[in-house]
Structure 1
Amino acid sequence: MDVGIKDLRDNLSRHLASVRDGHTVTVTDHGRPVARIVPAGRPTRLETLIADGRVTRSGRSKGPAPDPLPAAGTVTDLIDDQRR
Structure 2
Amino acid sequence: MTTGGSMDVDTRELRDDLTRHLAEVRGGRTITITDDGKPIAQLVPVGVPTAMERLIAEGRVTPAKRRKRPAPTPIKTAGPVSDLIDEQRR
TM-score, length-scaled by structure 2:
0.67
Higher mean C-alpha deviation, range 30-39 or range 58-67: 58-67
1:30 maps to 36
User: Which secondary structure does the structure 1 equivalent of 2:52 belong to?
Assistant: helix
Note if 1:48 corresponds to 2:49: no
* CA deviation vs aligned residue, 1:25-84 (integer Å, no higher than 9, x gap): 1111112222111111100011011111111012233224434667xxxxxxxxxxxxxx
What CA distance in whole angstroms lies between the structure 2 residues aligned with 1:8 and 1:68? 41
Flag structure 1 segments of 5+ consecutive residues without an equivalent: 71-84
RMSD: 1.9
Name the residue aligned to 1:9: 15
| TM-score, length of structure 1 as denominator length | 0.71
> Corresponding residue for 2:72?
66
Percent same amino acid at aligned positions? 57
Letter in 2 for 1:43: P
Alpha-carbon separation, structure 1, partners of 2:39 and 2:24 = 18
Name the count of aligned residue pairs.
71
Q: Decide which structure has the larger Cα Rg and report it.
A: 2
Q: 2:66 is aligned with what amino acid?
A: R
For 1:61, the aligned partner's letter is R
